[in-house]
Structure 1
């Protein structure tokens, strides 16, 4: 989803500042940071950020306005954890490209960011349409490390703005070993909904994602009770977004 109002101006968007002017790193870290983050710095919109009082750590959830330009399906959010070594004036970083803000928040929380310090800026992006969405977003942010992400596809089309994400539960006792989370943006009401469904196999989960992207999906199946959970097979990690339609 776009983190802007329906007719924003560029000046209305906040800019990100990584505060690294007085810090350095070895050549490989500097090159990686430039290629993975800084090269598109002027197109990154900070949806939330948190800095420790000593300046040693910074956490960012960023919206990349260039993500889907020429790269259909690419996740639009970038989570960045910066660690500054004050005495040496050097820095390290971790970065992940993720399909939903709640998943980016979870990634940062499990790298030391306080959960109550990384709330999204309510002025950016369409708000949640209902309590079901808000509850699922809270659970994804808090329990995101309970799942492995194997596939996602983001469609940034005003006529059908949708993101589908396939997850595998890491706990064999979890309800429904495979989940699909789908976010849909209502561009007329300027709100978004988040829903999840449960699947017994990876093929069923990926098939539902394909069907949703091609307009053939039925309702998401409910998450199964814990008593019905079985040990999941591995969910292969996709190398990147795949276009709608997959080989059988």
Structure 2
């Protein structure tokens, strides 16, 4: 039996304007029957909803595209209208981070039981928790999701936004899923250049298995408040294979 389609709780609501209606129809509504809610949270007053969605339609599209959608719905309870934001992201922790930084309580957006694989070890669990909290410190440069049952793997290249002087400002996240065990591992590596990070990903997708270099950090200078200033987060254009 297929999982039920997500309930966006929009009965008796209309899009706030024509642009919102068109955007929601083209990005969410048209693939509604292919979306599965992996996690969701609704505020007590019903004005906001947060979803981590898996988009099954992506598996039939361009190879390697992110299969997850982070969706933030905002409802005007008096006018009975709604607006929304969304992002396509390659890893659940990244989708959770995107939602958390738009107001979702961190402990309210965990994956529902039976949705997705479980962390295989403490290293994976700790890295996912850190990404959920610090995801806005990085810009997504590139990702590739392979859903081959014999090699279910995802590679992600990130750029640190608040640590530009680090010897490893570019990060690679590598997730491997074991469908038989129902678990996954997630590892992180640090690179001096984006070219090196992309080369590692290309080699891994080509079948070469090599350890990720450790993330090397350097002490950051601090301002008068004792915290290092961070530039505003921007998402550069993605790179697709």
1:23-80 superposed Cα distances (whole Å, 9 cap, x missing partner): 1122221111010011111111111111111111100000111112131001010000
User: CA RMSD for the aligned pairs?
Assistant: 1.9
1:107-159 superposed Cα distances (whole Å, 9 cap, x missing partner): 00001111111111131111111000000000001100010111000001001
Equivalent in the alignment of 1:183: 175
- The TM-score, its normalising length taken from structure 1, stands at 0.87
Which of residues 211, 217, 223 in structure 1 aligns to 2:203? 211
- 1:59 is aligned to 2:50: yes
- Identify which range, 188-197 or 169-178, moves more after superposition: 169-178
SS at match of 1:95: strand
SS at match of 1:67: helix
Asked if the contact 2:140/2:238 (under 8 Å) is kept, the reply is: no
SS at match of 1:54: coil
SS at match of 1:134: helix
Asked if the contact 1:151/1:237 (under 8 Å) is kept, the reply is: no
- 1:19 is aligned to 2:9: yes
1-structure distance, mates of 2:198, 2:113? 32
- Identify which range, 13-22 or 26-35, moves more after superposition: 13-22
Q: How much has 1:227 moved relative to structure 2?
A: 4.7
- Identify which range, 185-194 or 32-41, moves more after superposition: 185-194
Asked if the contact 2:167/2:191 (under 8 Å) is kept, the reply is: no
Residues 60 and 227 of structure 1: is their aligned pair in 2 closer, same or farther, counting only changes over 3 Å? same
Asked if the contact 1:74/1:240 (under 8 Å) is kept, the reply is: no
Structure-to-structure mapping, 1:1-248, within 5 angstroms = 9-10=1-2, 13-25=3-15, 26-171=17-162, 172-173=164-165, 176-227=168-219, 237-239=236-238, 241-242=240-241
Q: Which runs of 5+ in 2 are unaligned?
A: 221-233
Residues 185 and 75 of structure 1: is their aligned pair in 2 closer, same or farther, counting only changes over 3 Å? same
**Equivalent residues, number:** 227
Residues 180 and 239 of structure 1: is their aligned pair in 2 closer, same or farther, counting only changes over 3 Å? closer
1:148-191 superposed Cα distances (whole Å, 9 cap, x missing partner): 11100000100110000000001125572000001001123221
Equivalent in the alignment of 2:228: none
